[in-house]
A and B are shown apart, each in its own frame.
Chain A
Amino acid sequence: MEKVLFKGNEAIAEAAICAGCRLFFGYPITPSTEVVEYLAWHMPKSGGTVLQAEDEIASINMCCGAAYTGARVMTASSGPGISLKQEGLSHAAANELPMVIVDISRAGPGLGGLGPSQADYFQATKGGGHGDYRLIVLAPAKVQEMYDYTMEAFDLADRHRNPVMILAEGFLGQMMEPIELKARPGTVLPVKDWIVDGCRNRSRRRLTSYGLSNETTEAACLHLEEKYNRIRAAEQRWEDFYSEDADYIIAAFGTCARIAKSAVLLARQQGIKLGLVRPITLWPFPEKAFTRLTQQLKGVLTVELSAGQMVEDVRLALASSCVPVAFYGRQGGMLPTEEELLRQVIQTFQPAPGKGV
């Protein structure tokens, strides 16, 4: 199939249209803005509506309103904007509203900078809003995946009745790569028999997360917990790169994983059996990707563009093993080089070169 040059953010927007999303509520913020700009051009041509809200809080609540009716709906933002959306994300998760949230993150805390950073990992995977809830979080590492994962995110959201987040750095949002514009996969999804669209020919429905008694609130929380456990069992995804025979593994996602791949190739040239595990779902965290390797691994270096966030999940996954887990990070928008990563692996674990590859 012919490939087309696409910017990461625009690939997400195009995928949303292809996935049947016809409602987008957003608020511009660098480096995510091309998502709303592209959709403002192209969504109306597909009969859809793009509404620029007064702020991020409004836009996520508009998404909730549309999702209540069963419509496919999306919003996009960046770190500080996602912070504002957290309240609404808790609401969406509590009411089991399928929607897609795009976070093209920037560096920070606070206003921060625009360079590539993965410091929103906690915010994306550990809640951020109030109460116990989880988002399914997908982390693409190339523009093709920005497209593919966005399309799939809508299906995942509908399948599990849960908000799904695409988390990528501004770097990925802004880069251009040739991609294949694949057609929407024919997936069988559950019928939306829960939506609120006016009680024509049926009894009235109400969707609320408010419980008048502790008993009903606990029942609602247990229902969500059960669902999250189901998702945890079913949806762990990752990519392996030379991990099959690896003595050492780099754990990295997104842009960072691309650099780590180069580090792995460099290591292999030197006879060091380094591999990469790239989490694709940040939640549910792909614990299986690590637990299945415990017998062979002599060390894991988690590399992130943060002070160390995913490393906590890697440590948890390997908690019952003796595999040492180390961390290396760059912050503020700085990227490591492949030499830098290999140096870190060698310094941390002092691997002996083998026979080479």
Chain B
Amino acid sequence: MEKIFGRPRGLTDLPFTYCPGCTHGIIHRLIGEVLEEMDIISDTIGVASVGCSMFTQELFACDFVQSLHGRAAAVATGVKRSLPDRLVFTYQGDGDIAAIGTSHAIHAAARGEKITVVMVNNAIYGMTGGQMAPTTLEGQKTATSPYGRDKALAGSPVDFPKTIATLSGAVYVAAMSVDTPANIKKTKQALKKAFQVQQAGLGFSLVSILSTCPTGWGLSPADSLDWLRDNMVPVYEMGEIKATEEVKDL
């Protein structure tokens, strides 16, 4: 029988260990497909961060290195400056990139570092047990905001892709979601574009993806998707936030 659907070659054979309903798996698959379709598996070096996204190093079929908390963009800079003809991407959660790693991501973007950053935003720190992140919504209850995020105390959620988009070195910034089949398709296109931007040497690219954390949110997988749609999508600007003329010409 002809096989018409399988695991992309961009992924290893290891089973995903994410919690049921978590959309990391979908995002992994999309990147795995992009690596395969662009035929860049052996040209790509991934930089793992910390948190659940640390498992990426086991799951993608390309070479991988580890970085410490928040440092992925700096490590990726070192890799890319040493090997300019390879494709380098980081895979970071919102806590990793928009809190402890803010300065590294911002300055990598400001320098126009030719790397691709994948930011997975589930509005909390997932692996550490669902604490408040810079992306936690106002009023959202987490392990460290048990009464709900109070704007007076902890400020408002950070729309990180929008911040990055203000920097001239960032040439492609997209904010996507994987809550519906249509959005999953769009997310894949954005990821592909981000890698193409890097391949063309145009500058820094970032794809932020809204993702669910049923365990951390205390919701069922299906309810998590609804919660994401109802609560996160209205807060964060969605779509291709920035694509320079050169990027549009790709």
Whole-angstrom CA separation of A62 from B107 in the bound complex: 12
CB within 8 A of A23: which of B66, B82, B107?
Answer: B82
Q: Per-residue CB proximity of A9-49 to B under 8 Å, as 1/0? A: 00000000000000101000000000000000000000001
Check: B45 CB closer than 8 A to any chain A CB: yes
* Chain A interface category by residue count: 35 or more
- B47 — which chain A residues lie within 8 A by C-beta? 65
Q: Per-residue CB proximity of A198-240 to B under 8 Å, as 1/0? A: 1111001111111000000000000000000000000000000
CB within 8 A of B68: which of A23, A73, A91, A207?
Answer: A91
- A197 — which chain B residues lie within 8 A by C-beta? 45, 63, 83, 86
Find out whether the CB atom of B82 lies under 8 angstroms from the CB atom of A61. no
- A63 — which chain B residues lie within 8 A by C-beta? 78
Binding site of A, secondary structure by majority: helix, strand, loop or mixed? mixed
18 further interface pairs, Cβ-Cβ under 8 Å (given A65-B76, A69-B45, A88-B68): A23-B81, A23-B82, A62-B77, A62-B78, A62-B81, A64-B67, A65-B47, A65-B77, A69-B78, A73-B78, A87-B68, A95-B66, A198-B63, A198-B83, A199-B42, A204-B63, A206-B57, A206-B66
Which of B61, B78, B81, B86 has the largest number of chain A CB atoms within 10 A? B78
Find out whether the CB atom of A208 lies under 8 angstroms from the CB atom of B48. yes
Check: B226 CB closer than 8 A to any chain A CB: no
Query: Which residues of B (11-30) have their CB < 8 Å from a CB of A?
Result: 12
Min Cβ gap A64→B in Å is: 5
Q: Per-residue CB proximity of B117-130 to A under 8 Å, as 1/0? A: 00000000000000
Find out whether the CB atom of A69 lies under 8 angstroms from the CB atom of B82. yes
Find out whether the CB atom of A54 lies under 8 angstroms from the CB atom of B107. yes
Interface residues of A (CB under 8 A from B): 23, 25, 49, 51, 53-55, 57-59, 61-69, 71, 73, 87-88, 91, 95, 196-201, 204-210
Find out whether the CB atom of A208 lies under 8 angstroms from the CB atom of B66. yes
Check: B215 CB closer than 8 A to any chain A CB: no
Whole-angstrom CA separation of A324 from B63 in the bound complex: 55
What are the 10 closest A-B residue pairs judged by CB atoms, nearest first?
A65-B78, A61-B74, A208-B66, A62-B78, A54-B107, A65-B75, A66-B78, A206-B64, A65-B79, A61-B71
- A59 — which chain B residues lie within 8 A by C-beta? 74
- B39 — which chain A residues lie within 8 A by C-beta? none
Whole-angstrom CA separation of A195 from B146 in the bound complex: 45
Which of B67, B77, B82 has the largest number of chain A CB atoms within 10 A? B82
Whole-angstrom CA separation of A237 from B76 in the bound complex: 36
For B43, the closest partner residue in chain A by CB is A198
Find out whether the CB atom of A54 lies under 8 angstroms from the CB atom of B81. no
Check: B104 CB closer than 8 A to any chain A CB: yes
Which of A25, A55, A61 has the largest number of chain B CB atoms within 10 A? A61
